[in-house]
Structure 1
Amino acid sequence: MRTPAKSRSCSDTEVFLPEIDDRCHELAERYGVRPYMVARYLTFLGRSETERLLKHMEDIRPAIRTNTILIDPEELRRVLEEKRGFELKRCPEPVDVGFWILNDPPISIGATLEYMMGYYVPQDAASMLPPVVLDPKPGDRVLDACAAPGGKTTHLAQLMDNEGTLIAIDVDPDRMRALKSNLARCGVANAVALRMNALDLPSTDWEFDRILLDAPCTGEGTIHKDPSRKTSRDPEDIATCARLQRRLIDAVVDVLRPGGVLVYSTCTFSPEENELIVQYAVDEHGLEPEPVDVGWADRGLRVPGVEPKVRRTCARLYPHRHGMGIFFVARLRKPLS
């Protein structure tokens, strides 16, 4: 693998931009992605892994997550297979409340009676991991900082046994409507949904035991749902997202109690939005990275400027290795003093 070259995209944010050679152009043309993306994959993953990633980037099976507030996973499986014609496969621990859908059911997953009753949430399997890593307990004060449309919020509620205090905030009014609808449909009783910019959190007197920051990102992990992302993002977008993510880290750390836990996640490959953001949280706020204890996940990338303790504690998911969209998860704890 080549050593990543750095290019300053703008102001204080650097983006890794390796040389784009004939191999990059060849693979970019074959798989319909931007050449700079291929150059970055080759740098961090090598030729074989890059080709496998590009080949399987859109081969992600749809999944659903059982809403255990209302139904047991095996009971849901029985109903959907026997009555609705679904063919399901259980997702691996610790996201085994989820099922992959192996067939094309006769009824859309968003049109069944069970969906309308809130028994399950359509959700990519990778997206089920951050709430599990946060591990909220009944009675905790929990913040979902970029919550809409509510897939992870409803998951947090069920992990809390629908007890405690769960604040779900988002700035987008259209997505807020979806968030409130999902909370109601799933029978969530311990959550309050507020339209609010997470950057304004320091102006409050709130304090939370646990915070989930599933940050806005460039979204390479959603290419299977939105193929336009193969070509619609450029290095400037990476820099823009990384700047916002650092500001969001600053904001949420301000309302995390000493000893509290922050889980940071994205659905993108970019180390500028992942390992380097975690390193920023460590350097600027003294947060301590804790292992994401998922044995089948990959560790973080080897990135210049990122300490080994950060890389070793992060988790990465890939389509060609895990059957899930590209995803990144890190867990950090705020020091007591």
Structure 2
Amino acid sequence: MRLPGRIAAAIDVLSDVETRKRPVSEALKAWGLNNRFAGAGDRAAIGNLVYDALRRRASYAFAMGSHEPRALVLAAVLRHWGETPETLAAMFAEDTHAPAPLTPLEQAGAHAEVEAAPDIVQADFPEWLASSLKRAFGSDLAAEGQAMAGRPSLDLRINALKATPEKVAKSLARFSPQPTRYALLGLTMPAGPGDARTPNVTTDEGYQKGWFEVQDQGSQMVSALAGAQPGDQVLDLCAGAGGKTLALASAMGNKGQIFAYDSDRNRLAPIYDRLKRNGVHNAQVRAPEPGALDDLVGKIDRVVVDAPCTGTGTWRRRPDTKWKLTPELLAQRQSDQAAILEEAARYLKPGGTLVYITCSILPEENDDQVAVLLSAHPELKSVDIAAAWRSAFITDIPPGLMTPGGGVLLTPHRTGTDGFYCHMLRKA
């Protein structure tokens, strides 16, 4: 397929997403099944167009004067893929699979200025979150949003139980991986422009042997901040598929004990194969049964809570969820977080540390939740996050990362990572 046909396909996919209210991944899969002639390169390019259109939906709509899928896809091509109205007109005229010719309004949208738009539109954030995000970022709102609207890198965490960064870099040399900026055991491959494809590293022998895991650098960093030590008793209370359990086991050198638990069996299911592939021997999976964790009350050195949240920090990877988030869903997540934090506090032994993590950039899910917990539990005190940072990364914490409430907030603009929040509290 040539670019005009890919543009037409992306418009169809985005229309399907908007009409049927289903995830982009499902719509792209359905399109691929119905158009088996399309190669892997075509499918990747179409996916890039759809995701790029959604990442900047607000500013594209402002520039183009329309929220329609056609306007958004054309904006991505004209404003960020390097094409011009003239080059598109020539290509459209020669391709029978091309969309209809560009209108004068669409041609003007290629160069329309968005500086006159409200900051929240320039930032490509939902307007109803303006006050929350201004509270989080202040005058950096537009810059934070524009970074969040970019494409994410592909990051890997080296499994220290089996490999070294040098060993993995050699295995993946064809993809030119580079060391991550902060994570000491990370490698990264920046996203390419236009129709560039993401490297498929999971077919590499190193992945099959458990040398590395695909994990955003931000997730690696908050796992490192947890400070798990060999010999610790650690409870991963919201383990999910086990990404942070694996990172904790690697940091602990397979010594001590990790109890991996999640209230959802389906989320927990992949952890068994991942533990085996990574050579983890100090993790015990606790299935969600009544009383499954009763024997751990008051006995745990570190309780890691990777809490269910709105996922606003992952909007680069899942931009469709940016526009589906509602006040009701945010309120539900806040309720879930408060309940989980109360539960987590029960398992701490005296001197134990609670590590609260979200992949959210919203203060309501971060500092606010910690403030409520601290007010109800005077025996808990915030840990000096700057000291924890120095211990984890052997360097001082960069300016601007600490939140007013004493946590740390990572973002694409600040750290080149997904959005992650971490706050640590110690029991007296």
Question: What are the within-5 Å matches in structure 2 for residues 318-337 of structure 1?
Answer: 318-335=411-428
1:157 counterpart residue number: 249
For residue 189 of structure 2, what is the amino acid of its counterpart? I
Deviation at 1:182, TM superposition (A): 1.2
SS of the residue corresponding to residue 196 of structure 1 reads coil
Note the aligned Cα RMSD (angstroms).
2.4
Deviation at 1:29, TM superposition (A): 4.8
Question: What are the within-5 Å matches in structure 2 for residues 10-21 of structure 1?
Answer: none
Deviation at 1:31, TM superposition (A): 5.6
1:65 counterpart residue number: 157
* Alignment gaps of 5+ in structure 1: 1-22, 303-310
Change (3 A) 1:224 1:189: same
Which structure shows the higher strand fraction? 1
Change (3 A) 1:165 1:233: same
Question: What are the within-5 Å matches in structure 2 for residues 206-221 of structure 1?
Answer: 206=297, 207-221=299-313
Q: Is the aligned partner of 1:166 residue 2:258?
A: yes
Change (3 A) 1:205 1:33: closer
Contact 2:222-2:420 within 8 A present in 1 as well: no
Q: Give distance in 2, aligned partners of 1:130 and 1:44.
A: 19
Q: Give distance in 2, aligned partners of 1:224 and 1:277.
A: 24
* Alignment gaps of 5+ in structure 2: 1-114, 390-396
Q: Is the aligned partner of 1:91 residue 2:180?
A: yes
Deviation at 1:39, TM superposition (A): 3.6
Say which of 166, 173, 185 aligns to 1:74.
166
Deviation at 1:296, TM superposition (A): 2.3
Q: Give distance in 2, aligned partners of 1:179 and 1:56.
A: 32
Q: Give distance in 1, aligned partners of 2:265 and 2:416.
A: 32
Deviation at 1:297, TM superposition (A): 6.3
Spell out, residue by residue over 1:38-89, the C-alpha distance to the aligned partner (whole angstroms, 9 max, x if none): 3432344234x111111111432120000000011222112211xxx12122
SS of the residue corresponding to residue 262 of structure 1 reads strand
Q: Is the aligned partner of 1:233 residue 2:325?
A: yes
Q: Is the aligned partner of 1:126 residue 2:214?
A: no
Bigger relative CO (Cα 8 Å, ≥ 6 apart):
1
Deviation at 1:24, TM superposition (A): 11
Which structure shows the higher helix fraction? 2
2:65 counterpart residue number: none
Q: Is the aligned partner of 1:141 residue 2:243?
A: no
Q: Give distance in 1, aligned partners of 2:131 and 2:346.
A: 37
1:179 counterpart residue number: 271
Change (3 A) 1:32 1:297: same
Deviation at 1:323, TM superposition (A): 0.6
For residue 181 of structure 2, what is the amino acid of its counterpart? P
Q: Give distance in 2, aligned partners of 1:70 and 1:296.
A: 31
For residue 178 of structure 2, what is the amino acid of its counterpart? K
Question: How many matched pairs?
Answer: 298
SS of the residue corresponding to residue 121 of structure 1 reads strand
SS of the residue corresponding to residue 203 of structure 2 reads coil
Change (3 A) 1:247 1:201: farther
Contact 1:201-1:254 within 8 A present in 2 as well: no
